[in-house]
């Protein structure tokens, strides 16, 4: 059963400029693992913008409570590069309140826009 669906879009260049203008922003929004690819190379602005969109979409899927912490939701990479969500702390607590047992996430970036869709699901 679907508990919530969230979608978000993020203009890549505007987001990349925010990261350049505010040096600490990258560390506030993303865990160290999110900031690099599986090979250890720094992620591109497109990739980071898509991960930011995923965190925003996740919050929307949970009803957009204002007390979620950025590092409590982490976009990881699964088999064949598939994006996955790892949640802990404030995000895990809200998900538990809603009975969320599974996450589905899709990321995309094209034409200067990054987007993400997150579906929160619970067993029926």
Is 8 assigned to a binding site? yes
Domains of the chain: 2-121 (3.90.470.20)
User: How far is Cα 68 from Cα 124, in angstroms, rounded to an integer?
Assistant: 26
| Residue 35 predicted with pLDDT over 80 | yes
Q: Of 31, 79, 22, 23, which Cα lies nearest the Cα of 55?
A: 31
pLDDT at position 42: 95
In this model, does residue 30 exceed pLDDT 80?
yes
Q: How far apart are CA 40 and CA 103, in angstroms?
A: 25
**Span between the terminal Cα atoms of the chain, in Å:** 5
Q: What is the mean pLDDT of residues 18-35?
A: 95
Q: How many residues does the structure list for the chain? A: 124
Any known ligand binding at 56? yes
Residue 64 has pLDDT above 90, yes or no: no
Q: What is the mean pLDDT of residues 91-114?
A: 96
User: What gap in Å lies between CA 14 and CA 101, rounded to an integer?
Assistant: 34
């Amino acid at each position: 059963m679907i508990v919530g669906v969230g979608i978000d879009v993020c203009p890549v260049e505007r987001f990349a400029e925010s990261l350049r203008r505010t040096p600490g922003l990258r560390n506030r929004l993303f865990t160290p693992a999110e900031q690099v690819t599986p090979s250890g190379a720094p992620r591109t602005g497109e990739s980071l913008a898509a991960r930011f969109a995923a965190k925003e979409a996740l919050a929307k899927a949970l009803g957009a409570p204002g007390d979620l912490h950025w590092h409590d939701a982490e976009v990881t990479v699964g088999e064949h590069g598939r994006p996955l969500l790892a949640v802990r702390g404030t995000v895990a607590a809200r998900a538990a309140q809603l009975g969320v047992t599974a996450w589905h996430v899709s990321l995309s970036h094209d034409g200067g826009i990054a987007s993400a869709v997150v579906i929160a699901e619970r067993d029926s």
